[in-house]
Amino acid sequence: MLPPKDYETAVGWSMSAPPTFSWPQERLLLFIAGGRNALLQSVEGAEDAVDQAARLTQQHEIGSADVVIAVAASGTTPFTLSCLTEAKRRGALTIGVANNRDTPILKEADHAVLLDTGAEPIAGSTRMKAGTAQRITLNVFSSLVMILLGRVYDGLVVDLQAVSQKLIRRSEGILTRLTGSSTEQAREALHRANGNVKLAVLLLHGCDVKEATDVLHRAGGQLRAALADIGKPGPEPADLSDLPTS
C-alpha cells in the first residue's frame, strides 16, 4: 500500500519476487494510490482516496492469513494509512515503513520500521534518500523471508524460474556448484526435473524423479532437509538468531 510517488520501490520488488524465488503471483498484491494509471502519470488526489483504499482491502479479502506492508515516506499518506488500518481491523499482520518518526503509519502498525534518512538533498524529492532506504528495506525483508522459507540454499537461489537463457545458465551453474557435476550433467538433470533446481540436485545425487519428488515433498520443499533425508547433508545453515528484532 503506497502513495503514487513511492510506487517505484514496491513495483520493482514485486516484479522480481516471482521469477527469482518462484513466489506465487496470486500471493503478492500491490495496492497503489491511483491504481495502474499512477505508474505512468500523476493521478491528482489519489493519495487522499481513503474510501477506495478500504474497499480494495475488503475486495481482496485481506485477513488473518496475510501480512500487509504499508510504505510511505511521510508516514501520513491517507490512502496508505487507510489500507493499513482496514487490514489490521480484518486481522492481518501489519508492518509500517516510514521515514518520519512518530507518524500515524508507524503508530498504527503492529511492527513499525522507521527509516530515519533525514532531509532530502532536493527538498520534496523523496525518491532519493527515502526511496533508496525503502528499496533496501524491502530487499532485505524479502531476502530474509525467502531464506527462512528454504528458497535460498548455501547462498544460492534454488527456487528461481528459468524463464530465459540467462536463467537457464544460472540454474546449471548452481547445480555444478552444489553437486560438482559437469555442465552437461547439470543440463540433463535440469531437463529431467522440468527446470526445478531442487529436484535436479536430488537427481544428481542418485535419486530418480519419483523418489526425488517424494523426498522433497516430505521435506516441505526444503532442500537442506531433503539432502539430509537421503544421507547427503549440506553445509550448516547460517545462525540468524542474533539478528536485531527492533
Condensed to tens digits (0 to 9), the pLDDT of residues 90-130 reads: 999 999 999 999 999 999 999 999 999 988 888 777 778 88
Residue 174 has pLDDT above 60, yes or no: yes
| pLDDT computed for residue 121 by the predictor | 80
CATH code for the domain in which residue 199 is found: 1.10.8.1080
Backbone angles phi, psi at 27, to 5 degrees: -100, 15
Nearest-angstrom CA–CA distance, 166 and 152: 19
**Contact indicator for 96, 111 with CB cutoff of 8 Å:** yes
Domain match, 34 and 83 both: yes
Domain ranges, residue 181: 153-229
Residue 20 has pLDDT above 80, yes or no: no
Domain match, 131 and 21 both: yes
Domain match, 59 and 103 both: yes
How many residues are given for the chain? 246
Residue range 133-149: mean pLDDT, rounded: 89
Assess if residue 12 is contained within a domain. Answer: yes
Residue 34 has pLDDT above 70, yes or no: no
Span 76-93, pLDDT tens digits: 999 999 999 999 999 999
Nearest-angstrom CA–CA distance, 176 and 51: 53
Residue 186 has pLDDT above 70, yes or no: yes
Q: Which amino acid is at 68?
A: V
Assess if residue 217 is contained within a domain. Answer: yes
Share of the chain above pLDDT 90, in %: 54
pTM of the predicted protein model: 0.78
Among 19-23, 27-31, 70-74, the range scoring the smallest mean pLDDT is: 19-23
The alpha carbons of the chain give a radius of gyration, in whole angstroms, of: 21
Question: Which H helix or E strand runs over 140?
Answer: helix 129-148
